[in-house]
């Protein structure tokens, strides 16, 4: 299949040459596809002194299509290099898409575990019949070029309770063994997480299934299982959960269960906690770098009612900024990684009482300390704090996005990262987060605050992204 892989890589590289440098919505502090469609982050890792971010990628159509793995890498999280496509759907076991997965740094090489999607032609439901959800391993010695890949697990290797929906393997080493968690939809249409164990990362056996005491959605996508600050966390994206409270307003939600006990044996899952309350946040994945656990997520949403005008420029969606996780005050909290501070210019400081209005650039880091109730208006967006409720409303530039809410303690501080077409709002040091895309019409942006407090505003410089667009790179294999 090397000839097909080479052809697909060349086609993807040629499509990327259509990158539009004058696109007004192209983000500058968020990773986006050069062309085409982006969704789940994959294979996050720190390998050979560089951060690697892979992502679900359809280079030929901004509305989606057969999935590849796109790839960026960086030494410092603010200067990035766009690498060649790593994974292509070029084998019988992944012919309809190299779906989501994770990375394992082992023996000096990079091992990528992912779901190979195969859909057979016919009158099938693709849940109980007509689909192959294969667990595939790909290997790269240098982290950029693919050396080989092989089939590890097929549907017959999963427990009988699982339907054909088994996907998104997350792999890690713990002690002398390797573990893998995969999301599934059971035969009873209940979401669960399958736990596998291995001595060598190649031969796997199912050892446990994590589930709630009562059904919680029909499918759990993109599972992640890790220990942080002494607490085990099972992060999942449950589909089919319908609740009226904040955190469940999107088509699909994502969040985490605190896990008590041993995921390999007896355990209890605590109450589910949403991770992000904005319009555009799904499929988060974490990875460990030293003593830090970092996260990024798809800044988009599957089957959403709202749209994005970037399709006119041949691309759609981006990833959130990298965030550092901590388990504090009995909950998971997220904050932007400190490396982004290097993009700041000198601060502008504004104490305010009653009202403050300031002009803003397209890129800004806005930090506000306040005393309780606050109303913020930002170029078509409003954020209002009343008691324990935060309400985000988009009046202009939302392309169908309207209102989202979050419950917090009394508002003490906000941090807002503003890009050309993306906002990430962190309340109370990450107690609640709103991630959303938005497309303000006016050339200049303005911020108005009603309340009492202090605002510090930093103009931001763009991240550096080196793109492979020269003629030689079009044929890079």
Token couple for 135: 């667990």
Cα→Cα distances 45→68, 73, 142, 242, 294, Å: 18, 10, 13, 33, 10
CA distance 164 to 131: 6
Can you tell me the distance from the alpha carbon of 217 to that of 405, in angstroms, rounded to the nearest whole number? 21
CA dist., res. 394 & res. 408, Å (int): 20
Phi-psi region of 189 (alpha: psi -120 to 50; beta: other; left: phi over 0): left
What SS3 class is residue 197? strand
- Check if the beta carbon of residue 306 is closer than 8 Å to that of residue 401: yes
- From the candidates 7, 40, 271, 388, which is the catalytic residue? 40
Instruction: Kindly state the tokens that stand for 376.
Output: 């913020």
What is the token pair recorded at 334?
Answer: 């997220």
Question: Is 40 a catalytic site residue?
Answer: yes
Strand, helix or coil at 446? strand
d(Cα 385, Cα 408) in Å, to the nearest integer?
A: 9
Catalytic residue numbers, as ranges: 40
């Amino acid at each position: 299949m090397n000839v097909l892989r080479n052809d697909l890589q060349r086609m993807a590289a040629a499509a990327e040459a259509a990158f539009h440098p004058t696109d007004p919505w192209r983000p500058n502090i968020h990773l986006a596809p050069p062309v085409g469609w982006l969704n789940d982050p994959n294979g996050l890792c720190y390998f050979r002194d560089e951060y690697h971010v892979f992502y679900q990628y359809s280079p030929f159509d901004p509305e989606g299509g057969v999935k590849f793995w796109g790839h960026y890498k960086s030494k410092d999280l603010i200067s990035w290099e766009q690498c060649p496509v790593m994974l292509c759907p070029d084998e019988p076991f992944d012919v309809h898409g190299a779906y989501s997965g994770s990375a394992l740094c082992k023996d000096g090489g990079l091992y990528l575990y992912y779901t190979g999607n195969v859909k057979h032609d016919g009158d099938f439901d693709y849940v109980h019949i007509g689909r192959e959800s294969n667990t595939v391993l790909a290997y790269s010695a240098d982290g950029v070029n693919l050396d080989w890949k092989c089939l590890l697990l097929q549907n017959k290797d999963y427990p009988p309770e699982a339907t054909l929906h088994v996907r998104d393997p997350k792999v890690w080493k713990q002690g002398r063994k390797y573990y893998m968690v995969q999301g599934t939809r059971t035969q009873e249409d209940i979401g669960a997480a399958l736990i596998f164990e291995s001595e060598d990362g190649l031969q796997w056996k199912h050892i446990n299934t994590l589930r709630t005491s009562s059904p919680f959605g029909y499918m759990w996508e993109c599972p992640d299982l890790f220990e942080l600050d002494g607490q085990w966390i099972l992060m999942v994206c449950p589909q089919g959960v319908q609740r009226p409270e904040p955190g469940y307003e999107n088509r699909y939600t994502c969040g985490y269960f605190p896990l008590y006990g041993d995921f390999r044996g007896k355990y209890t899952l605590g109450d589910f906690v949403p991770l992000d309350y904005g319009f555009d946040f799904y499929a988060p994945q974490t990875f460990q770098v030293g003593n830090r656990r970092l996260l990024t997520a798809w800044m988009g949403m599957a089957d959403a009612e709202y749209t994005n005008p970037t399709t006119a420029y041949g691309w759609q969606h981006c990833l959130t900024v990298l965030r550092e996780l901590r388990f504090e005050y009995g909950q998971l909290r997220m904050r932007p990684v400190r490396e982004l501070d290097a993009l700041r210019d000198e601060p502008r400081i504004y104490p305010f009482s009653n009202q403050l209005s300031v002009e803003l650039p397209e890129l800004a880091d806005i930090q506000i300390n306040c005393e309780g109730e606050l109303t913020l208006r930002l170029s078509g967006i409003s954020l209002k704090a009343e008691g324990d409720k935060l309400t985000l409303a988009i009046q202009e530039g939302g392309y169908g996005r309207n209102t989202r809410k979050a419950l917090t303690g009394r508002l003490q501080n906000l941090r807002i990262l503003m890009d050309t077409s993306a906002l990430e709002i962190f309340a109370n040091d990450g107690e609640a987060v709103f991630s959303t895309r938005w497309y303000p019409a006016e050339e200049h942006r303005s911020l108005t605050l009603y309340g009492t407090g202090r605002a510090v505003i930093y103009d931001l410089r763009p991240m550096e992204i080196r793109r492979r667009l020269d003629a030689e790179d079009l044929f890079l294999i």
